[in-house]
Amino acid sequence: MNRLAFILLTFTLLLLMTGCGSLFNPVPKNVVMVKKIKENDKNNEVSMPGGVLSVETTKSLGLNALGKYFDIQLSPDQVQFEVTVVDINALKGLVEQNIHPDERKDAEAMLKEVPEGLFYLTITSPSKERYELVLNAGTGDVLKISNQNNSNSGLKEFDLDYSNRIDKFLQEKQGLKSEDIKQVEKMFSENEDTYVYRNLKDNRLRYVIEVDIPQNKVTGFSKDIMALLTWSAKISAKVPTLHQ
């Protein structure tokens, strides 16, 4: 792959998977490591490598995640799907180009948790609300989910006491105990606060949780490799941070 193609790949993946995908949609056609699944592919019968979940399974998991985290119930025939497959080689390139050296060791360990790569999934509702998800392509684990719509739907049971509510979410929805993680940083922008959590045991970055201030709701989270990529992208944007 020539240098220009690699730069395009890196830029595209970073926008897609860290929450800015709506700003840049096309995937370079000559990049074979990123494969966009078309909605009109017959029954989505796309040839997938061994160990990778089917596209239909990925869609079903995405809808289940909307119900779990946003209390939004939609059926497959009500929505439009956009699915992009990102393989492990593309992820490795993204890590090499964007992760700070201090986090590189953790990033390499996280890559081993997604050997089949990732599914980037966009779900558009009948009312044109868009939900963006990133799933482990092998296990279906939700590594990122985002709801940037101007609606009242957000992660359930949140109010202005964000820290306590986020702790509750991590315990109830992710099975984490309060003694396992710690909030270490916050990032403020005009309309959004970002909370960063690390493991107490090894200081590994674990979760990035985003809060929409005007709408008084949590709009999504990233975890593990997606937390690291999301946080790195925000740091690179040079938004002021408050270290606790």
Contacts with 230 (C-beta within 8 Å, 6 or more apart), sequence order: 17, 18, 19, 144, 208, 222
CA 71 to chain CA centroid, Å, is 18
Residue of higher predicted confidence among 186 and 91: 91
pTM for the model: 0.77
Contacts with 108 (C-beta within 8 Å, 6 or more apart), sequence order: 95
How many Å apart are CA 12 and CA 30, to the nearest integer? 13
The pLDDT, as a whole number, for residue 224 is 94
Least confident of 26-30, 87-91, 98-102, 170-174: 26-30
Q: Which residue has the tokens 């840049």?
A: 24
Point out which residues pair with 37 in neighbouring strands: 83
Instruction: Give the chain's domain count.
Output: 1
Least confident of 53-57, 176-180, 192-196: 176-180
Tokens at residue 170, please? 């991590």
Question: Is there a contact between 100 and 87 (Cβ–Cβ < 8 Å)?
Answer: no
Helices 224-236 and 88-98 cross at an angle (nearest 10°) of: 40
pLDDT, one tens digit per residue, over 137-186 is 999 999 999 987 765 555 544 444 567 777 777 777 777 777 778 888 87
Quote the DSSP letter at residue 137: T
The pLDDT, as a whole number, for residue 8 is 43
Question: Is there a contact between 85 and 35 (Cβ–Cβ < 8 Å)?
Answer: yes
- Taken in order 24, 25, 26, 28, the sign of the CA dihedral is positive
Quote the DSSP letter at residue 90: H
Residue 133 structural domain: 3-243
Per-residue pLDDT band for 39 (boundaries 50, 70, 90) equals low
Q: Residue 197: how many CA atoms within 13 Å on its side-chain side?
A: 25
